[in-house]
Structure 1
Amino acid sequence: MSCNIILFFCYQGYLSQFYADVGVTNSSVHRMVKTSFRQDLQTMQVTGVLDNETVEAMKAPRCGVSDISRYGHFDGKPRWKKRLLTYRITQYTQDLTQSQVDAIIAQAFQLYSDVIPLDFKQVNSGTADIMILFKGGYHGDFYPFDGAGGVLAHANSPGWGQGGDTHFDDDERWTFTQRGVNLLLVAAHEFGHALGLDHSRDRGALMYPTYRYVNTNGYRLPDDDKHGVQALYGPRTITYPGPEPEEPTEDPNPDPLPNPRGEQCSRGLVFDAATSIRRDLFFFKNGYYWRKSTTATGIRFTKVNTKWSQINYVDAAFEVPSKDVVYLFEGRQYWGIRAYAKTVISGFPKSLTNLGLPSSVSKVDAAVYVPTTRKTLIFVNNQYWSYDQGRNQMDVGYPRYITQDFPGIGSKVDAAFENYGYLYFSDGPRQSEYYLPYRRVMRVLLNYGWLNCY
Structure 2
Amino acid sequence: MQLAMLCTVCLLPSSLALPLPREAGGMSELQWKQAQDYLKRFYPSSSKIRDPNSLEAKLKEMQKFFRLPVNGILNSYIIEIMQKPRCGVPDVAEYSLFPDSPKWTSNVVTYRVVSHPRELSLVIVNQLVAKALKMWSEEIPLHFKRVSLGTADIMIGFARGAHGDPYPFDGPGNTLAHAFSPGPGLGGDAHFDEDERWTDGSSIGINFLFAATHEFGHSLGLGHSSDPSAVMYPTYRDGDPKNFKLSRDDIKGIQKLYGERSDSRMN
Instruction: Kindly indicate whether the alpha-carbon contact (under 8 Å) linking 2:187 and 2:219 is maintained by their aligned counterparts in 1.
Output: yes
Q: How does 1:296-315 map to 2 (within 5 A)?
A: none
Specify which of 133, 136, 147 is matched with residue 123 of structure 1: 147
Change (3 A) 1:96 1:118: same
- Count of aligned residue pairs for this structure pair: 232
Specify which of 214, 219, 239 is matched with residue 189 of structure 1: 214
Aligned to 2:82: 58
The aligned amino acid for 2:231 is L
Unaligned runs of 5+ in 2: 1-12, 15-27
Instruction: Kindly indicate whether the alpha-carbon contact (under 8 Å) linking 2:44 and 2:93 is maintained by their aligned counterparts in 1.
Output: no
TM-score normalised to the size of structure 1? Answer: 0.48
> 60-69 or 107-116, which moves further after superposition?
60-69
1:11 CA displacement: 1.2
1:39 CA displacement: 2.0
Between the aligned partners of 1:163 and 1:21, the Cα distance in structure 2 is 23
Q: Which has the higher helix share?
A: 2
Change (3 A) 1:187 1:151: same
Specify which of 226, 237, 242 is matched with residue 262 of structure 2: 237
Aligned to 2:126: 102
Between the aligned partners of 1:61 and 1:24, the Cα distance in structure 2 is 27
Between the aligned partners of 2:217 and 2:45, the Cα distance in structure 1 is 19
Specify which of 153, 171, 191 is matched with residue 177 of structure 2: 153
Question: What per-residue deviation string (whole Å, max 9, x for no partner) do you get for residues 280-325 of structure 1?
Answer: xxxxxxxxxxxxxxxxxxxxxxxxxxxxxxxxxxxxxxxxxxxxxx
Q: Which has the higher strand share?
A: 1
Aligned to 1:42: 60
Specify which of 138, 142, 163 is matched with residue 114 of structure 1: 138
Change (3 A) 1:72 1:115: farther
Between the aligned partners of 1:12 and 1:143, the Cα distance in structure 2 is 18
Aligned to 2:195: 171
Kindly report the root-mean-square deviation, in angstroms, between the aligned alpha carbons of the 2 structures. Answer: 2.3
1:40 CA displacement: 1.6
Aligned to 1:180: 205
Question: What per-residue deviation string (whole Å, max 9, x for no partner) do you get for residues 116-172 of structure 1?
Answer: 000111111000001111011111111000000000000001111110011000000
Between the aligned partners of 1:51 and 1:167, the Cα distance in structure 2 is 32
- Identity, % of aligned pairs? 46
Question: What per-residue deviation string (whole Å, max 9, x for no partner) do you get for residues 237-285 of structure 1?
Answer: 129xxxxxxxxxxxxxxxxxxxxxxxxxxxxxxxxxxxxxxxxxxxxxx
Instruction: Kindly indicate whether the alpha-carbon contact (under 8 Å) linking 1:73 and 1:228 is maintained by their aligned counterparts in 2.
Output: no
Aligned to 1:220: 245
SS state at 1:164 partner: coil
Q: How does 1:408-423 map to 2 (within 5 A)?
A: none
Between the aligned partners of 2:125 and 2:180, the Cα distance in structure 1 is 20
Is 1:18 matched up with 2:48? no
TM-score normalised to the size of structure 2? Answer: 0.81
- Find the structure with the greater CA-based Rg: 1
Change (3 A) 1:209 1:93: same
Is 1:207 matched up with 2:225? no
Unaligned runs of 5+ in 1: 26-32, 240-448, 450-454
With a CA cutoff of 8 Å and minimum separation of 6, indicate the structure with the bigger relative contact order. Answer: 2
Change (3 A) 1:197 1:20: same
1:203 CA displacement: 1.1
Instruction: Kindly indicate whether the alpha-carbon contact (under 8 Å) linking 2:47 and 2:94 is maintained by their aligned counterparts in 1.
Output: no
